[in-house]
């Protein structure tokens, strides 16, 4: 059984997805009474894995919920300043507001479909933006990009694989391969774990899902 040192910005669901296990299995193995509360700097035993994790230990020992926010390292980050802003993939500054949006996205997704799509991606993203940033943004999956206030969001040109390493980015696609998706598109918020995103549900492998989508745009909050 391998161990993983929890870093600031981690969530139990993201760790479970990263190691291809479940939140309940991690909670049971590590005697975690509240899966929504984990501690940066603590070690987790990962069921079904042997050896040591390749991830570095966290810096700092602050507590945070599985959907919470805190200063410190986040998936894909390379440095931290004194106010909790980190430099993420592509040189994008990961701010506390972005971590807050990623956490709000997780909360919205778990409150709607969990790990199963409900066909309400824009609703989940809108709820997260409202909760985290206090902004009312409406529209379906391929309309949200036009409705994001440009004084609060900036479009960036980076690969999806890099964007998924940064928490709190808004992803929009013009079309997907489904009937409704061809009309309404899709939108989601990155978790920062390198592979998953949230909307009305948690999509474990967004890169795989993106193979059937087109017209990707990526936006970073600048609030």
The pLDDT tens digits of the residues spanning 129-184 come to 999 999 999 898 888 989 999 999 999 999 999 999 999 999 999 999 988 888 99
pLDDT higher for 14 or 187? Answer: 187
The answer, yes or no, to whether residue 73 has pLDDT greater than 70, is: no
176 in any annotated domain: yes
87 pLDDT band (50/70/90 cuts)? low
Residue 217 lies in domain: 93-221
223 pLDDT more than 80: no
Residue 97 and residue 140 share a domain:
yes
Q: Can you give the pLDDT at residue 12?
A: 83
Same domain, 29 and 135: no
Sequential DSSP letters for the chain:
-EEEE--TT--HHHHHHHTT--HHHHHHHTT-S-TTEEETT-EEEETT--S--SSPPPSS--EEETT---SS--TT---B-TTS-EE-GGG-EE-HHHHHHHHHHHHHHHHHTTTS--S-HHHHHHHHHHHHH-----S-TTTHHHHS-TTTEEEE---HHHHTTSTT-EEEESEESSHHHHHH-EEEEE-SSSS-EESSSEES-HHHHHTTEE--EEEEE--
More confident of the two residues 189 and 77: 189
207 and 158 together in one domain: yes
- 107 and 192 both lie in a single domain: yes
Question: Is the same domain home to 133 and 55?
Answer: no
Mean per-residue pLDDT over the chain, rounded = 81
State the pairing for strand pair 175-176/197-198.
unpaired
Within a domain: 80: no
Residues 16 and 101 occupy one common structural domain = no
Quote the pLDDT of residue 20: 80
Same domain, 115 and 177: yes
Residue 75 domain flag: no
- Res 134: pLDDT: 95
CATH of the domain at 54: 3.10.350.10
Query: Which CATH number fits the domain that encloses residue 135?
Result: 3.90.1720.10
pTM above 0.85, yes or no: no
| Residue 198 in domain | yes
Which residue did the predictor score with more confidence, 29 or 124?
A: 124
In DSSP terms, 220 is beta-bridged to 154
> Percent of the chain scored above 70 by pLDDT?
80
For residue 188, the model assigns a pLDDT of 97
Higher pLDDT, 108 or 74: 108
* Residue 190 maps to a domain: yes
Q: Is residue 72 a part of any domain in this protein?
A: no
In a domain, 71, yes or no: no
38 and 139 fall within a common domain: no
Residues 18 and 103 in one domain: no
In a domain, 178, yes or no: yes
- Tell me: pLDDT of 100 over 80: yes
Tell me how many domains the chain contains: 2
Is the pLDDT at 15 greater than 90, yes or no? no
- Strand bridging mode 170-173 / 186-190: antiparallel
């Amino acid at each position: 059984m391998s161990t993983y040192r929890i870093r600031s910005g981690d969530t139990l669901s993201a760790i479970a997805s990263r190691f291809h296990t479940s939140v309940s299995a991690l909670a049971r193995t590590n005697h975690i009474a509240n899966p929504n509360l984990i501690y940066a700097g603590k070690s987790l035993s990962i069921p079904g894995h042997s050896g040591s994790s390749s991830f570095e230990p966290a810096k700092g020992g602050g507590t945070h919920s599985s959907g919470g926010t805190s200063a410190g390292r986040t998936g894909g980050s390379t440095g931290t300043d004194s106010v909790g802003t980190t430099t993420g993939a592509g040189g994008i500054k990961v701010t506390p507001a972005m971590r807050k949006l990623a956490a709000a996205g997780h909360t919205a997704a778990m409150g709607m479909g969990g790990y199963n799509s409900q066909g309400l991606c824009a609703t989940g993203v809108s709820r997260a933006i409202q909760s985290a940033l206090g902004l009312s943004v409406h529209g379906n999956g391929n309309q949200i990009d036009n409705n994001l206030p440009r004084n609060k969001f900036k479009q960036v040109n980076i690969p999806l694989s890099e964007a998924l390493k940064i928490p709190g980015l808004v992803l929009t696609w013009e079309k997907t391969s489904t009937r409704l998706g061809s009309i309404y598109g899709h939108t989601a918020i990155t978790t920062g774990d390198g592979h998953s995103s949230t909307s009305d549900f948690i999509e474990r492998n967004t890169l795989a899902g993106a193979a059937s989508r087109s017209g990707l745009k990526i936006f970073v909050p600048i609030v």
